[in-house]
Copies of this chain bind each other. A is one copy, B any other.
């Protein structure tokens, strides 16, 4: 296999409600699924509160380390929506009322016979020099500056915005995965599985315990970018499990 292309990403999920437990995040798992599908490695996620300094610090810590940063939350019309200010601060640029966003919102409220209030105008604020991220659900756009993509926290809107930007993202060689189900717990398979991993250094073998309330079993997941390496390692994992089964039948 020719050398794989690696593209990396991180996420910053923004919101007091995620840290208080009031809202159970759904965007992290969705982003993870989408990134895996197109071959972008999600390497780190941070959940931070609605505080300008915390958001800016997380974005600046991550944006130089990874190819893409995605954020969720804090871009609505209320006083606690401060992501635009925080990202502007992180990039050291002014937070302005973007003219394109103002026009989109003005037209939408005009059409619906609603007032384009000061609160609603807040949704047009973004760092100077941003690109717009379309919002087919509720018009108010997200924005991107540099490698940072700022999206809404409401899952339907987050997902629609992500769909809108996906075609423009550089993608890498997908990390393929193959699962092997083990009826045995990790304690039974740990030692032989270490040997399989050592024999297949070009793969990454993960072991995920499951507990049904009485008995542990294990999902073993082999990951590799090369399909041949993947199936060779998965076959050895399966052979390892079959060997345990055979030894128990004999005993």
Chain A residues in the interface with B (C-beta under 8 A): 16-25, 28-36, 41-50, 54, 76-81, 114, 117-120, 122-123, 137-138, 153-154, 156-157, 175, 177, 186-191, 193-194, 197, 204-211, 213, 216, 221, 223
Contacts and interface: CB of A to CB of B under 8 A. Distances in A.
A48 B44 contact: yes
Contacts of A45: 18-19, 45-47
Interface of A is mostly: mixed
A33 B21 contact: yes
A206 B16 contact: yes
Contact of A21 (B23, B29, B207): B29
A61 to B, nearest CB: 9
A94 to B, nearest CB: 21
Nearest to A51: B43
B189 A78 contact: yes
A23 B208 CA distance: 9
A43 B20 CA distance: 9
A203 to B, nearest CB: 12
26 contacts: A16-B223, A19-B44, A19-B45, A20-B32, A20-B177, A20-B223, A21-B35, A43-B49, A43-B54, A44-B48, A50-B206, A76-B209, A77-B186, A78-B186, A78-B190, A79-B205, A118-B191, A119-B188, A120-B190, A122-B190, A123-B187, A138-B211, A138-B216, A153-B209, A154-B209, A156-B211
